[in-house]
Chains A and B, each alone.
Chain A
């Protein structure tokens, strides 16, 4: 990564007027995307991720703030003068042009020499495995192939950054998974910064170097997939990424940077906390379902979190079995048990069970360090 960010937003926001009221689709946002980074904007629909991307592309003007591309202020610069290219949600291929003509469109506008265009389009079609499809019209291609044309059409220009707006949304599951791997490979191959807009958390986790989780027009959390999954900053992030178990309670005692929350005799949760947390602090704790052990026998180890509860539901998922347990602490916890060793269920509905997990698998949400 070089020093200058490929894309930088400083205080960028977008206000819309709706029925006389001003609505902030994007609240003042600061964001820096590094050179060659695979960066995802993740969030539910209406969270402002697409608007943010369109402000980078130049299709929307920010109501305030500055957009930098490679250190240059491009706020107010028309889309066709910005050195970024976009892959649209529905591909938006030119229906009256062939695959080749679609890919060559940008280079022709830039007045690149004919021979050079032929060479670069040929190369790009090879990268996206579409050699031999040059003369096809978009109508004669499958969804996956159209997707590749859209990608090639943007990448062939060698943009500073590629903006992808839910590019895999229209594909079926199998093809989508295949394209995820493919996209990642292509990104490594061409070394261009990708900004990827998606509402699919699995997609974002698989492909991204960093993810910005957006909600209600602002970024809730920005971090690596691991950070976002393991240490969700807000309740929203914890809930939106994967399945999360949330426990509310207040700290009874702290020793060695680990807080103890007692829910009943022999029922406790241990959680590492920063120094700002003291006795009596109310905490919201997130535990991922695959970290929890479920057993019908009382646990032997003393230095881990233990809760008891009643199994309410057992769902077999092939690779794992999912249990929903109503704990005596009040919350319903979900437990994923890998079906690696046993073919039998660990417990059935109505059974009393013990749930245990190590202290480092509890994470206090929204606590200042």
Chain B
């Protein structure tokens, strides 16, 4: 009898934790999104679905924008992270640990602080644009701060390690002799990469996309610090609905909508890519 119970007992601590800090808030939030009222007079559960309709109608632009920013960020991350991961995995040799540490080093500084320091780099007369403008290479009216470019730049910067690490792990697991075998079988370096290295790294890319697209789409710091009113993302809207307007039902409804959209997106992505094949390679 004890043996039968053992696995469940092992699940208990983590299970309770999840129940307390995941399931309970989720249920509370779902209930909040269907309530009516205000902070002063209190909220009553009325099953008011109209909140969802209104929230989506009012903030459709920010929602779509967030998904677009998230998608662009993810694509740029793959492009930026793959060479880094490739270099560390295949040319890092004895410096691998050092290189990985350098990659993670910025994380010892707060997320917000790092994003704020990008302001100094991107500001109109800052270290990047200032000299270029003085030299007459850029018009005085040119600016990056407050544009989508600045926000996406910030997102790419902040999430880079989350894309590099899973790709690195996947590349690291590739037997160099498999690549040699491809070269031996008449594949040029480029073809060997395309037909062997990249397919074998796909599980890493897949994991990287999951780890970056979801948080990047719901991020509210980068747009707040580097963007403007024209780059407002859904995360900012939710934050201000909760903390500024105290409009809990709308904030909850938006949160749920965002979650649903991301879940659908991720599942569609997994289906399209054929998770099974990806996982097969990962499990080898």
A interface residue numbers (CB < 8 A to B): 57, 59, 78-81, 84-86, 88-90, 92-96, 105-106, 109-110, 137-139, 153-154, 157
Contact = CB atoms under 8 A, between A and B. Distances in A.
A201 to B, nearest CB: 25
B125 to A, nearest CB: 51
A86 B181 contact: yes
A109 B200 contact: no
A297 to B, nearest CB: 59
B186 A95 contact: no
Interface of A is mostly: mixed
A92 B280 CA distance: 17
A230 B187 CA distance: 44
B187 A96 contact: no
A79 B178 contact: no
A109 B191 CA distance: 9
Contact of B185 (A85, A90, A96): A85
Given A96-B199, A109-B191, A139-B284, A90 B177 contact: yes
A92 B277 CA distance: 19
Given A109-B191, A137-B280, A139-B284, A94 B181 contact: yes
B281 interface: yes
30 contacts: A59-B180, A59-B183, A59-B184, A79-B180, A79-B183, A79-B184, A80-B186, A86-B180, A86-B181, A88-B177, A92-B175, A92-B181, A93-B181, A94-B181, A94-B196, A95-B200, A96-B199, A96-B280, A105-B185, A105-B187, A105-B195, A106-B186, A109-B187, A109-B191, A110-B186, A138-B284, A139-B284, A153-B181, A154-B184, A154-B185
**In the A-B complex, the 6 residue pairs with the closest CB atoms:** A106-B185, A109-B186, A92-B177, A92-B181, A95-B284, A79-B183
Interface of B: 175, 177-178, 180-188, 191-192, 195-196, 199-200, 277, 280-281, 283-284
B161 to A, nearest CB: 26
Nearest to B188: A80
Contacts of A79: 180, 183-184
B178 A80 contact: no
A249 B284 CA distance: 60
A353 to B, nearest CB: 52
B187 A57 contact: no
Contact of A80 (B177, B183, B199, B280): B183
A135 to B, nearest CB: 13
A96 B199 CA distance: 7
B182 A94 contact: yes
Contacts of B200: 95-96
A153 B186 CA distance: 12
Nearest to B176: A92
Contacts, number: 72
Most buried by B among A59, A109, A139: A109
A96 B281 contact: yes
A43 to B, nearest CB: 21
A363 B23 CA distance: 85
Contacts of A78: 183, 188
Contacts of A59: 180, 183-184
B175 A90 contact: yes
B177 A57 contact: no
B185 A95 contact: no
Contacts of B281: 95-96
Contacts of B175: 90, 92
Contacts of A89: 177
Given A86-B181, A89-B177, A109-B191, 4 more contacts: A94-B196, A95-B178, A105-B187, A157-B186
A247 to B, nearest CB: 45
Nearest to B178: A92
A92 B180 contact: yes
B193 to A, nearest CB: 12
Contacts of A57: 184
B172 to A, nearest CB: 14
A157 B185 contact: yes
Contacts of B199: 96
Contacts of A138: 284
Given A94-B181, A96-B281, A105-B182, A80 B187 contact: yes
B204 to A, nearest CB: 13
Contacts of A154: 184-185
